[in-house]
Structure 1
Amino acid sequence: MAMESFSTLECFIRSAEVGSFAEAARRLSLTPAAVGKNVAQLEARLGVRLFQRSTRKLTLTEAGQRFLAEVSDSFRTIQYAMANLASAEGQPAGLLRVSMGTVFGRLYVVPLLGEFLQRYPAITPDWHFDNRQVDLIGQGFDAAIGGGFDLPPGVVARRLTPAHRVLVAAPGYLAQHPPITAPEDLPGHAGILIRSPQTGRVRAWPLTSRWKEQRPLQLRQAMTMSDSDAACAVAEQGLGVALVSLPFAVPYLRAGRLQRVLADWYVDDGNISIYYAEHKLLPGKTRAFIDFVVERFAEQGLLQQFDALQAL
């Protein structure tokens, strides 16, 4: 395949993924005119229209959809093969684009960076901190770390730790308010609840016990936060009982600034996982990052620390 054919194909695939020549151009560091010209050349060579063009957006024609389905996997295989071959003397190399939650990334992933770069000096981290789910393939990320994500087609997840939410409060708050010994005691307390950054809603979570019983979580909504770390900081001021992701609560619990409430009960929110595009030939940089993070999380015992039934 001539290199110019490769770049026209890349322009077509990116434009199809994002529905815009301008956005494809931004991701490929080209001008929109160059992307449009490349796609037009490809259409002329194939003798079919691949896109319906309107002022608002690009949509694939039926022939365009068929062509995309046939070429995108092969194109990615070639791209990965080239990236792996271009690695520095067989070492994983290149720009590593990873998306992760802001506080989770700062607390648990950023501290691993020095050791990672010592092991893989030819990799250039390009890390994005965002609490929302990203479009891994469409936005060109190599990997993402987070919990509770839907798995779109072509994306796989490797579990890192459980995603448990727990109830916490400041020692001062607990000393001044009626004791909480069962879920039925919760309605009398001020609740600091989490609003989902994805949907904007406060979810109605069921509580699960160590004995696998379930109860509705009936906590009066005194206030809502869109972030577990902020909810911990508010609870630390003695303003109520907060339902928070355990990884965020760990530093506060360790320091004694917060205490678990109903330690035998938690909310099961699935897993915190590392997500990446499903492919037989993963780029060396992506494979190295995934294996490194899984290995370091296991060595640090984070799986146990983030399990509500084993943690503090």
Structure 2
Amino acid sequence: MDLNAIAVFAQVVDCGSFTQAAENLDMTKSTVSRKVAELEQHLGVKLLTRSTRSLVLTPEGEKFHQASMQMLEVLNQAELEVSANQDLVRGPLKVVLPVELGHQVLGSYIHQFLHQHPHVTMNLELSNREVDIIGEGIDLYAQIGELVDSTLVSRHLTKSPRVLVASAEYLQQFGTIESYLDLKAPHQQVEVVNKAARIPKWTIEAENGESYPFELPNRLRVNTITACLTACLDGLGVAILPEFICREHFATGKLVRLLPNYAMPEVEVSLVYTDRQLMPKRKKALIDFLLTSFQSRH
């Protein structure tokens, strides 16, 4: 099997375009197309379905792409292990972070890491979508809440305290909340719903250890914490938000922390990645850097 053809195929999938892959590889588009066609002929299956606007992996193509990415990574790591530059942290990384976690928490650490390792390149995506870490070849992902896939490695980064909040304007309109018994209609909630966070059901815990689940009518559903905060500040409902994002608004009085004598569940934040025997040095360096740097300051 032609390893060069496999590398070309992987580049086409990553770029989503024969034209872009050819440019990245410094080849002609016809050469790239021929290499993929030869690979398909050798395997006896169709790997890509092509249209005028997009490329779509066939089921066989998806399986082969996952396997080829792992194989190319092993070959790359083997080359580094025997090369004169084996101590050099270099190469590409693909990282996906939930939007607010990337913008407000981990972004600066990522920048520091890249300053320290100038031979590393990174594709950083900030998104609240559901990710397929193995299928998409993602090196590192930050999970908010429970990890479902037991085949992945999860490293504890921090815990995010949550607070129950509303704007002063909202409370004037709908009434104060002085007890968990007040958490009912006509009060309403602004809810964050996205694939990036697996947040437990709304529950508060009294000083005696008793837990009280509650649910309010949905006035507005949004897919980012920032949108939820903005809606809450505009008086559209009660919200459960990370404590750190609310501090400045508590100080100005725009937000009111509700039921401060009740505790809310803290949400686990973890670094998640695939478990490979030959982990690329750049990936291990990033994981170690984030864990050490972040936890030393919090």
Distance in 2 between residues matched to 1:27 and 1:140, nearest whole Å: 17
Compute the displacement of 1:168 (Å): 0.8
Q: Secondary structure at the match of 1:222?
A: strand
Distance in 2 between residues matched to 1:27 and 1:193, nearest whole Å: 43
Distance in 2 between residues matched to 1:41 and 1:233, nearest whole Å: 54
Distance in 1 between residues matched to 2:185 and 2:157, nearest whole Å: 36
Deviations 1:11-33 (A, max 9, x none): 56788xx7x99668867846786
Q: Pick from 267, 283, 287: which aligns with 1:286?
A: 283
Q: Secondary structure at the match of 1:224?
A: strand
Q: Which residue identity does 2:44 align to in structure 1?
A: R
- Confirm or deny: 8 A CA contact 2:190 2:237 kept in the other structure: no
Structure 2 residue 23 is the aligned partner of structure 1 residue 49: no
- Confirm or deny: 8 A CA contact 1:189 1:240 kept in the other structure: no
Distance in 1 between residues matched to 2:230 and 2:81, nearest whole Å: 45
Aligned to 2:152: 155
Compute the displacement of 1:298 (Å): 1.1
Structure 2 residue 117 is the aligned partner of structure 1 residue 120: yes
Compute the displacement of 1:167 (Å): 1.2
RMSD: 4.1
Structure 2 residue 75 is the aligned partner of structure 1 residue 92: no
- Confirm or deny: 8 A CA contact 1:43 1:50 kept in the other structure: yes
1:54/1:235 CA distance change after superposition, 3 Å: closer
Deviations 1:69-102 (A, max 9, x none): 9877554322333356679672312233222122
Distance in 2 between residues matched to 1:168 and 1:83, nearest whole Å: 52
Distance in 1 between residues matched to 2:276 and 2:68, nearest whole Å: 14
Structure 2 residue 264 is the aligned partner of structure 1 residue 266: yes
Distance in 1 between residues matched to 2:270 and 2:95, nearest whole Å: 13
1:34/1:78 CA distance change after superposition, 3 Å: same
Aligned to 1:295: 292
Number of corresponding residues:
286
Compute the displacement of 1:230 (Å): 1.9
Structure 2 residue 241 is the aligned partner of structure 1 residue 241: no
Compute the displacement of 1:103 (Å): 2.3
Matches within 5 A, 1:208-219: 208-209=204-205, 213-219=210-216
1:95/1:256 CA distance change after superposition, 3 Å: farther
Distance in 2 between residues matched to 1:103 and 1:184, nearest whole Å: 32
1:110/1:6 CA distance change after superposition, 3 Å: same
- Confirm or deny: 8 A CA contact 2:66 2:137 kept in the other structure: no
Distance in 1 between residues matched to 2:249 and 2:68, nearest whole Å: 51
Q: Secondary structure at the match of 1:127?
A: strand
Deviations 1:137-196 (A, max 9, x none): 333332122314755575322221235543112345446653323322111453332242
Distance in 2 between residues matched to 1:272 and 1:290, nearest whole Å: 14
Q: Secondary structure at the match of 2:184?
A: helix
Q: Which residue identity does 2:264 align to in structure 1?
A: Y
Deviations 1:228-277 (A, max 9, x none): 22222222234432122445334534665423212324256x52222222
Aligned to 2:59: 59
1:151/1:221 CA distance change after superposition, 3 Å: closer
Q: Which residue identity does 1:77 align to in structure 2?
A: V
Q: Which residue identity does 1:107 align to in structure 2?
A: Q
- What TM-score do the two structures reach when normalised by structure 2? 0.73
Compute the displacement of 1:227 (Å): 1.8
Aligned to 2:77: 80
Matches within 5 A, 1:100-139: 100-139=97-136
Question: Which runs of no fewer than 5 residues in structure 2 stay unpaired?
Answer: 51-55
- Confirm or deny: 8 A CA contact 1:229 1:249 kept in the other structure: no
1:247/1:43 CA distance change after superposition, 3 Å: same
- Confirm or deny: 8 A CA contact 2:174 2:187 kept in the other structure: no
- Confirm or deny: 8 A CA contact 1:100 1:129 kept in the other structure: yes
1:98/1:5 CA distance change after superposition, 3 Å: same
Distance in 2 between residues matched to 1:169 and 1:10, nearest whole Å: 53
Aligned to 1:181: 178
- Confirm or deny: 8 A CA contact 1:102 1:131 kept in the other structure: yes
Distance in 1 between residues matched to 2:5 and 2:240, nearest whole Å: 51
Q: Identity of counterpart residues, as a percentage?
A: 23
Comparing 274-283 with 109-118, greater Cα deviation is found at 109-118
1:212/1:246 CA distance change after superposition, 3 Å: same
